[in-house]
Amino acid sequence: MANGISYALEFERPILDLEKKIADLKALSRGNSDFVNEIAKLEKKSKRLQSEIFSDLSRWQIVQLSRHPARPYFLDYARMLFSDFFELAGDRSFGEDRSIVGGFARLDGEPVLLLGHQKGRSTKENVARNFGMPRPEGYRKAHRLMRLAERLGRPVITFVDTPGAYPGIGAEERGQAEAIAANLELMCGLSTPIVSVVIGEGGSGGALAIGVGNRVLMMEYSIYSVISPEACSSILYRDASKAEKAAESLKLTARDLLALKVIDEIIREPLGGAHRDPQAAAQQVGSALRKHLSALRGMPGDALIEDRYRKFRAIGVFSGR
């Protein structure tokens, strides 16, 4: 496939088919000038087609894009944006959970703590990463590292990308809800800057457990919701096939959440999505992180806590009778 992408969503297929024709024509031409005009026409048509398709995506199509298997994951951004990343493992209580990765790194030479959900590319890696669904030990590891970052005066940057916390019996027995609640409590009172970026799926409390930031940003084609469209449709309509209808009701896109003032900024993605040009996507993320960290770094600890408190207290509308 064009651009090395071997997986295509249904609405992407016309673009990839056209790009394949362009690639085939370039291979046939071998420098022959007779094909230059035809190739230029097809390339222009391809860009126009991409603009048309991506200017009018439905919420369900954005859900599909947020889960695209070629989309950059947390460790891809860590590699492209940061230097000297040193991973730290274990919760010092039960074990290691590879669905949350954390450690110290440098952004433009400045030390920061990185935390993020991590999915796998292959079936084997997805099993090892539990498909990006953390267990309690993953959240307790994040808790341990955020406390360490506060002691060292390091800003915390989190990358959110999970369908949700793992709902298995073992996770519940080991205190899944308590581990998430402890993280929410800690992040509310952490005296160091926190910037959270939703890069793919932001699923329920599993996402929020590392998402209580002074600034919450979302990639253009990411989602953030209290429940997945599939689970929502199963509950509301007793029919998981109505996920598309549920997605429209949930208002889970970056545009929706900016309008509702749940997030602070939408990070624009390359035309066609972050998976089409991961490096360009990373540059956009880096620019947003630098801007917000620069604004937060000069604030004292108590001001950061107050800023975070006011941000989350202002979300939503409450009316009493």
> Binning pLDDT at 50, 70 and 90, where does residue 41 land?
confident
Question: What pLDDT shows up at residue 31?
Answer: 62
Residues 291, 156 share a domain:
yes
Tell me what the mean pLDDT of segment 74-96 comes to. 95
Average pLDDT of the segment spanning 68-86: 96
Domain of 184, CATH number, reads 3.90.226.10
Q: In this model, does residue 117 exceed pLDDT 50? A: yes
Q: Are 113 and 149 in contact (CB under 8 A)?
A: yes
User: Do 46 and 68 share a domain, yes or no?
Assistant: no
Query: Residues 171, 291: one domain?
Result: yes
Which residue range forms the structural domain that includes residue 151?
63-313
Domain assignment present for residue 300? The answer is yes
Predicted pLDDT of residue 320: 61
Do 186 and 250 fall into the same domain? yes
Q: Nearest Cα to 272, choosing from 220, 217, 319, 313?
A: 220
State the Cα–Cα distance between residues 252 and 259, nearest whole angstrom: 11
pTM (predicted TM-score): 0.90
Please compute the mean of the pLDDT values over residues 104-126 and round it to a whole number: 96
Beta bridge partners of 103: 87, 114
Instruction: Return the pLDDT at 37.
Output: 75
Q: Tell whether 87 and 165 lie within a shared domain.
A: yes
Helix (H) or strand (E) segment spanning residue 14 = helix 13-29
The rounded mean pLDDT for the chain is 91
Cα(142)–Cα(66) distance, integer angstroms = 23
Q: How many domains does the chain have?
A: 2
Q: Mean pLDDT lowest for which of 140-149, 152-161, 225-234?
A: 225-234
Would residue 3 count as lying in a domain? no
**Residue 101 CB partners (closer than 8 Å, separation 6+):** 74, 75, 78, 87, 114, 115, 116, 118
List, in order, residues 6 or more apart from 46 with CB less than 8 Å away: 15, 18, 19, 22
**Residue 122 pLDDT:** 92
| Measured torsion, CA atoms of residues 151, 262, 98, 200, in degrees rounded to the nearest 10 | -140
Residues 124 and 25 both lie in one domain: no
Mean pLDDT, range 2-7, rounded to an integer? 57
The answer to whether residue 23 is domain-embedded is yes
Does residue 4 form part of some domain?
A: no
Q: Which of 139, 220, 215 is nearest to 180 (CA)?
A: 139
Same structural domain, 51 and 68: no
Q: Is residue 249 located within the same domain as residue 125?
A: yes
What pLDDT score does 1 carry? 39
Give me the mean pLDDT over the 22-36 stretch.
72
Which stretch of 12-26, 157-171, 241-255 has the lowest confidence by average pLDDT?
12-26
Is 206 inside a domain boundary?
yes
151 belongs to a structural domain = yes
Domain boundary among 37, 56, 75: 56
Does residue 4 surpass a pLDDT of 60?
no
Give the integer Cα–Cα distance in Å for 203 and 254: 13
Same domain, 76 and 44: no
Same domain, 182 and 290: yes
Is residue 100 situated within a structural domain? yes
Terminus-to-terminus CA distance in the chain, angstroms?
59
Q: Which of 48-52, 114-118, 235-239 has the lowest mean pLDDT?
A: 48-52
- Burial of 60 per CB tally in 10 Å (0-12, 13-18, 19+): middle
Query: Do 232 and 251 share a domain, yes or no?
Result: yes
pLDDT digits (tens, 9 = 90+) for 193-210: 999 999 999 998 999 999
Using alpha carbons, select from 191, 199, 193 the residue that is nearest to residue 217: 199
Ranges of H-type helices in 116-252: 123-128, 136-152, 169-173, 176-188, 204-208, 229-236, 243-250
Percent of the chain as helix, strand, coil, to the nearest 5 = 55, 15, 30
With a pLDDT cut of 70, the percent of the chain lying above it is 95
pLDDT number for residue 66: 95
pLDDT more than 90, % of the chain: 75
Assess if residue 2 is contained within a domain: no
What are the tokens at 95?
A: 């074990």
Residue 29: is its pLDDT beyond 80? no
Residues 192 and 254 in one domain: yes
